[in-house]
Amino acid sequence: MTTHSPPVPCHLNLVDGRWVDGERRPNLNPARPGETVAEYAAADRAVVKEAVDAAGRARPGWASTPVGERMRLLDRIGATILRRVEELAVLLSREEGKLLAEARGEVTRAGQTFRYYAHQLLQPEGEIYASTRERASAEVRRRPLGVVGVITPWNYPWAIPAWKVAPALAYGNTVVLKPAELVTASAGEMARIITDAGVPPGVFNLVMGDGPTAGEELLTSDGIDGVSFTGGTATGRHVARRCVEYGNKRFQLEMGGKNPLVVLDDADLEVAVRCALDGGFFSTGQRCTASSRLVVQSGIHDRFVDALTKATRALRVGDPLDERSQLGPVASPDQLARNLEYVEIGRREGATAVAGGDHTAEEGQFMRPTLFVGARNDMRLAREEIFGPVSCVIKVDDFDEAVAVAGDTRYGLSSGIVTTSLSAAERFKRLSRSGIVTVNLPTAGTELHLPFGGTGESNHGPREQGAYARDFYTVPVTCYTGW
Ligand code: NAD
pLDDT tens profile 48-57: 999 999 999 9
Domain residue limits at 21: 10-255+458-482
- The rounded Å distance from CA 306 to ligand 1 centre is 35
Sheet with 370-373, strands from edge to edge, namely 352-355, 370-373, 390-396, 291-297, 259-263, 414-418, 436-439
Q: What gap in Å lies between CA 272 and CA 258, rounded to an integer? A: 18
Instruction: Tell me: do 64 and 125 sit in the same domain.
Output: yes
Q: Give me the catalytic one of 10, 243, 275, 288.
A: 288
Instruction: Tell me: do 271 and 131 sit in the same domain.
Output: no
pLDDT tens profile 224-269: 999 999 999 999 999 999 999 999 999 999 999 999 999 999 999 9
Which residue minimizes the CA distance to atom 13 of ligand 1?
A: 211
- The rounded Å distance from CA 278 to ligand 1 centre is 23
Which residue minimizes the CA distance to atom 43 of ligand 1?
A: 288
Q: What gap in Å lies between CA 249 and CA 34, rounded to an integer? A: 41
Q: What gap in Å lies between CA 109 and CA 208, rounded to an integer? A: 23
Instruction: Tell me: do 241 and 301 sit in the same domain.
Output: no
Ligand 1, CB within 6 Å, residue ranges = 151-156, 178, 180-181, 210-212, 215-216, 219, 230-232, 235, 238, 254-257, 288, 385, 387, 413, 458
Q: What gap in Å lies between CA 445 and CA 261, rounded to an integer? A: 14
Residue-level pLDDT at 16: 98
pLDDT tens profile 168-185: 999 999 999 999 999 999
Is the sign of the CA dihedral 371, 255, 336, 311 positive or negative? positive
Residue 239 in domain = yes
Q: What is the CA radius of gyration of the chain?
A: 23
Q: What gap in Å lies between CA 442 and CA 260, rounded to an integer? A: 10
Q: What is the mean pLDDT of residues 38-59?
A: 97
- The rounded Å distance from CA 69 to ligand 1 centre is 33
Residue 452 in domain = no
Residue 364 in domain = yes
Residue 3 in domain = no
Residue 309 in domain = yes
Instruction: Tell me: do 275 and 304 sit in the same domain.
Output: yes
Cβ distance 291 to 307 under 8 Å? no
Residue 98 in domain = yes
Rounded to the nearest 10 degrees, the angle between the axes of helix 85-96 and helix 100-120 is: 120
pTM over 0.95: yes
Which residue minimizes the CA distance to atom 14 of ligand 1?
A: 211
Q: What gap in Å lies between CA 212 and CA 184, rounded to an integer? A: 16
Q: What gap in Å lies between CA 327 and CA 332, rounded to an integer? A: 15
Q: How many CA atoms lie within 13 A of 398 on its CB side?
A: 1
Which residue minimizes the CA distance to atom 40 of ligand 1?
A: 254
- The rounded Å distance from CA 18 to ligand 1 centre is 27
Helices and strands, number each (H, E), in the chain:
15, 21
Residue 453 in domain = no
Element (H, E) at 61: helix 45-63
1 confidence band (pLDDT: 50, 70, 90): very low
- The rounded Å distance from CA 22 to ligand 1 centre is 23
Instruction: Tell me: do 232 and 280 sit in the same domain.
Output: no
Instruction: Tell me: do 215 and 270 sit in the same domain.
Output: no
Indicate which atom in ligand 1 lies nearest the CA of residue 212: 18
Nearest to 147 by CA among 382, 473, 416, 477: 473
Q: For a pocket test of ligand 1, which of 218, 227, 233, 235 has the largest count of ligand atoms closer than 8 A to its C-beta?
A: 235
Is 243 among the catalytic positions? no
Indicate which atom in ligand 1 lies nearest the CA of residue 179: 9
Residue-level pLDDT at 163: 98
Q: What gap in Å lies between CA 141 and CA 152, rounded to an integer? A: 29
Indicate which atom in ligand 1 lies nearest the CA of residue 232: 32
Q: For a pocket test of ligand 1, which of 288, 335, 383 has the largest count of ligand atoms closer than 8 A to its C-beta?
A: 288
Question: How many domains does the chain contain in total?
Answer: 2
Nearest to 226 by CA among 435, 15, 470, 46: 470
Query: Who's near 233: CB < 8 A, 6+ residues apart?
Result: 255, 256, 385, 411, 457, 458
Residue 2 in domain = no
Residue-level pLDDT at 4: 58
pLDDT tens profile 393-448: 999 999 999 999 999 999 999 999 999 999 999 999 999 999 999 999 999 999 99
Which residue minimizes the CA distance to atom 20 of ligand 1?
A: 215
- The rounded Å distance from CA 348 to ligand 1 centre is 28
CATH number (domain holding residue 115): 3.40.605.10
Indicate which atom in ligand 1 lies nearest the CA of residue 209: 11
Q: For a pocket test of ligand 1, which of 95, 151, 181, 468 has the largest count of ligand atoms closer than 8 A to its C-beta?
A: 151
- The rounded Å distance from CA 267 to ligand 1 centre is 35
CATH number (domain holding residue 440): 3.40.309.10
Instruction: Tell me: do 237 and 338 sit in the same domain.
Output: no
Query: Who's near 454: CB < 8 A, 6+ residues apart?
Result: 254, 255, 257, 411, 412, 413, 414, 434, 435, 436
Instruction: Tell me: do 320 and 398 sit in the same domain.
Output: yes
Indicate which atom in ligand 1 lies nearest the CA of residue 254: 41
Indicate which atom in ligand 1 lies nearest the CA of residue 234: 2
pLDDT > 70 in the chain, percent: 98
Instruction: Tell me: do 246 and 344 sit in the same domain.
Output: no
Q: What share of the chain is helix, strand, coil (3-state, %, to 5)?
A: 40, 25, 35
